[in-house]
Amino acid sequence: MDINTFRSIIAGNGYEVIMCAIASAFFAQVIKFILFTVKSRKINFKIFSTTGGMPSSHSAGVMGLSTIVGIIQGFDSCLFAVSLGFSLIIMYDAAGLRRAAGKTAACLNRMMDDFYHHDLQAVGGKLKELLGHTPLEVFVGALFGIGFAYLFHWFVLGM
């Protein structure tokens, strides 16, 4: 299959939407991996499957989805309004509820560390602390998703 056949299959339909959403979240994770590697000077492939960090791949994915829906269906369509509402809920959750859960886990880990004297395996191990995002991480992820959707659509239409 050549590139023009590929473009004709996915242009302007649900395939373009789902591919854009998944690709924008994936590339946000790649950026997160690169930033972590540069900052820490060590390679950790677990970054690809973790939550939290800069930029938010959740925000990138859902805003990429909403933006590509707006481009295809129109920014005044009901489908865009529904997808944007969905995106805002996801981003609010990433910066609010999940971040608070991560802070709670960090506090509980410190308490259990003090109580069990560094033997957290006795109670099942440490809780995962990096669950959510700062508002800046969510914002940057959202901007990345919007920009990615425009570039993706431009690529699909044939540059």
Structural domains in the chain (count) = 2
- In this prediction, residue 100 carries a pLDDT of 65
- In this prediction, residue 102 carries a pLDDT of 65
Quickly list H helices, 41-130. Answer: 57-73, 78-95, 97-116
Residues counted in the chain: 159
Are residues 59 and 14 part of one domain?
yes
Distance, CA of 95 to CA of 137 (rounded, Å):
8
Q: Which residue has the higher pLDDT, 62 or 111?
A: 62
- Show the domain range for 123: 97-131
Distance, CA of 159 to CA of 7 (rounded, Å):
11
Are residues 58 and 18 part of one domain?
yes
Query: pLDDT tens digit string along 80-136?
Result: 999 999 999 988 887 766 666 666 766 766 777 666 666 656 656 665 655 566 888
- In this prediction, residue 123 carries a pLDDT of 58
Global confidence as pTM = 0.76
Task: Name the helix (H) or strand (E) containing 27.
Answer: helix 14-40
